[in-house]
Amino acid sequence: MRTLPFLTGAVATALTTMLAAAPELAAQYPTTPPAAMPIQPAQFPPFVEATLPNGLRLLVVTNRKQPVLSLTLSIPAGSVHEPATRVGLSEMMAGLLTKGAGSRSADQIAAAIEGVGGTINAFPGSEYITVNASVLAADRQLAFDLLADVVMRPTFPANEVELLRKQTLSSLALAKSQPSSIASRFFAKGLYGEHPYGRSADETSVGTITREELVAFHGQRVRPGQALLVIAGAIDAAEARTMTESAFGAWSGATLTAAAPRPAPQRTKSEILLVHRPGSVQANLVVGNTTWQPTDTRSYALTLANQVLGGAADARLFSILREEKGWTYGAYSSVARRKQLGNFSATAEVRNAVADSALVELLAQMRKMGTTPVPTAEFEQQKQALVGQFPLTIETADAVASQVANARLLGLPTDYVQTYRQRLAAVTPAQAQAAARAAIRADAAYIVVVGDATVLLPKFTAIAPVTIVDVEGKTLAPADLEVKTGGLALDLTRLVPAADSFAILVQGNEFGFQTTALARDGDGWVYRERTQIASFVQQQSEVRFGGDLSLRGVQQSGRIQGQEVKLSVTVANGKASGEGVTPGAQGMTPVKYADVALTAGVLDENLASVAMPLFAWGAKAKHTFAVFASSTGTVQSRTLEVTGEGTVTLRSGGDPIPAYQVQLSGGQAPSTFWIERAAPHRLLKFGPAAQPLEFVRVK
């Protein structure tokens, strides 16, 4: 019997007795999980399908457990149907459907639906646009009326068109600052080529779409033929059909037949597209291939193969790249079923230092899925997880309707949802391996890497051929990655002591302030800045520099969303060393570097507002120069370019001041500055190009 010398008395006696009995107690419990029970048929509420005389398909799922009703109308007017030169047309049209229809304005539509506690929204997609209205069952008539109005009788008010255009352009700018969005855009383009699935809206197309084009596209594409209306909830099929015929019976027009799209490119070897994002300390990896149409029966086996590889937090990619290697916060894979051609993709966001190792391991795991049978225990575990989760996806009438509607829109068999679990459960390891070999093609994969190419390029050239582009898609040569340094044509006579203040506006509402002060500091200068944005951001900065703008030191402190931010940079013999904690892609990130060479002409990133008035400005001015990103310890390239002219009214009022609009690019997020056209070119307004945040000069 074991003894417990460190315990005495009754406690020791009790624990000793329990330990002695442990083998007998353990024998009473099983050491392996029980075998899976036979799969029981999933219980579906009844659903009825019909086609109206005008071609509108109707699907009704009756369920009176709750007094709610959902109407979802899918119309074949998605982005694949828009002209190649008008990418974004379908998305803008969908966004405007609820912004004025019938006799109601946007505000009146919102007031009507919100007045009964309901919702109405329109969603863009590649094949279809979808409009959904959800209400209490007692308000069913309003739901039908509003849905019919926004689909059949939108008014496309000119002011709403322009408002949506501005919002869309802002979203596009924001997407260009987010590594995951950049990676997705380039991955789609490389995977599908000139096929519509590879297109992405840009500023040129969105900026020139007219109201007349929106109206014409609606008239051509928003028709009942091939459209599907799904009604789910507390209503019977007969009443649903009667109300549908009343609301949509006058809707007419056959759906136009779309021209056959160009086929997606077929790859025979792996290739890497390296998207240069200067200063990124992490790399976003996306790897994949095109697969097949949704009706391909191998899809069940591919679903299971993907689940084993990266479909869950206990799958191989997550377990190896995160748990075993510690290279990433998460690594996953997925299979997209699309009406014309699906795709497989695997993703991970990793530190620069291990980016190549992570990609090699990811490709190895993809390759292994097609070459090595999955062990039975692992395969059955993932299969049972998928099969067991399926009933949770059809617990409500709305969920059943969504599943059945998706199957109909993809052209899947009529019994697809009812037999899904049985077909998935019948997949064998050999079938999953064969599907993986056909779809998860590691040796012919398209690979997108978004990160700092100056760091990453040497790491990837040994893996596959590499093409380098900037975030706009412009091809770069390795020599283009070199940051050009040297003397800058700055008018240093404009460097004078000054104190300024800016109001910080979010969507036009004042949320904080920024004060700046520039003063002499011995034979050099000191720039101090204080920023306060509500309770979210409090930061103080102090930058010391020489008369030629050469950096001497940086001190920053503060808090962002309650988390401490600090940075200390010292410069000795032309080399910078820094340490602190700064915001990063995964939250607050420790920073530490030493002996970063700062050659002549390199400006500290914190001196943008100080240096701005010192450049030579004109209607076509463009300046490219080197900056020291003290928050990461890297030397990067930046470009200031005049992109327009206008006026700015100071926060304190007064006459509008003629100004140049200047775009700052080359960093992780573009910014827009407005500087006074007349010397001394004071900074009047600035802010991130992708967010409704502005710093406006007070006086």
The C-alpha atoms of residue 4 and residue 17 are separated, in whole angstroms, by 11
The C-alpha atoms of residue 149 and residue 136 are separated, in whole angstroms, by 19
The C-alpha atoms of residue 506 and residue 533 are separated, in whole angstroms, by 10
Unique residue bearing structure tokens 């079923």: 337
Residue 22's pLDDT is 61
Category of 561 on φ-ψ map: left (φ > 0), alpha (ψ -120 to 50) or beta: left
Category of 558 on φ-ψ map: left (φ > 0), alpha (ψ -120 to 50) or beta: left
Fold of 47-248: Cytochrome Bc1 Complex; Chain A, domain 1 (3.30.830)
Element (H, E) at 609: helix 608-611
One-letter amino acid at 652 equals S
CB 345 within 8 A of CB 184: no
Residue 21's pLDDT is 61
Chain centroid to CA 66: 34
Q: Sign of torsion, CA 57 127 256 291?
A: negative
Give the max Cα distance, the chain: 93
The C-alpha atoms of residue 671 and residue 691 are separated, in whole angstroms, by 10
Residue 173's pLDDT is 81
The C-alpha atoms of residue 501 and residue 510 are separated, in whole angstroms, by 13
Name the packing angle between helices 106-114 and 140-152 (round to 10°): 160
User: Among residues 487, 484, 488, 494, which one has the least CA distance to residue 675?
Assistant: 494
The C-alpha atoms of residue 462 and residue 465 are separated, in whole angstroms, by 8
The C-alpha atoms of residue 579 and residue 353 are separated, in whole angstroms, by 19
The C-alpha atoms of residue 641 and residue 617 are separated, in whole angstroms, by 9
Q: Sign of torsion, CA 26 32 36 37?
A: negative
Spatial neighbors of 686 by CB under 8 A, at least 6 apart, are 609, 671, 672, 673, 674, 694, 695
CA atoms within 13 A on the CB side of 309: 37
Q: What does the radius of gyration of the chain's CA atoms come to, in whole angstroms?
A: 30
As given in the structure block, the two tokens for residue 21 are 């009995």
Q: How many CB atoms lie within 10 A of CB 670?
A: 18
Per residue in 524-547, pLDDT (tens digit) is: 999 999 999 988 899 999 999 998
Residue 3's pLDDT is 44
Spatial neighbors of 496 by CB under 8 A, at least 6 apart, are 518
Given the DSSP bridges, would you call strands 551-560 and 537-546 parallel, antiparallel or unpaired?
Answer: antiparallel
Residue 489's pLDDT is 78
User: Among residues 283, 262, 260, which one has the least CA distance to residue 272?
Assistant: 283
Residue 483's pLDDT is 74
User: Among residues 245, 236, 247, which one has the least CA distance to residue 52?
Assistant: 245
Spatial neighbors of 33 by CB under 8 A, at least 6 apart, are none
Task: Examine domains 47-248 and 492-545+598-697 and report if their fold is the same.
Answer: no
Q: Domain boundaries in the chain?
A: 1-31, 47-248, 271-386+433-478, 492-545+598-697
The C-alpha atoms of residue 419 and residue 426 are separated, in whole angstroms, by 11
Class for the domain spanning 492-545+598-697: mainly beta
Kindly give the parts of the chain with pLDDT less than 50.
1-7
The C-alpha atoms of residue 125 and residue 21 are separated, in whole angstroms, by 63
Q: Is 645 helix (H, G, I), strand (E, B) or coil?
A: strand
The C-alpha atoms of residue 52 and residue 502 are separated, in whole angstroms, by 61
Q: What are phi and psi of 255, to 5 degrees?
A: -70, 135
Class for the domain spanning 271-386+433-478: alpha beta
Q: How many CB atoms lie within 10 A of CB 210?
A: 12
User: Among residues 315, 327, 329, which one has the least CA distance to residue 359?
Assistant: 327
State pTM to two decimals.
0.81
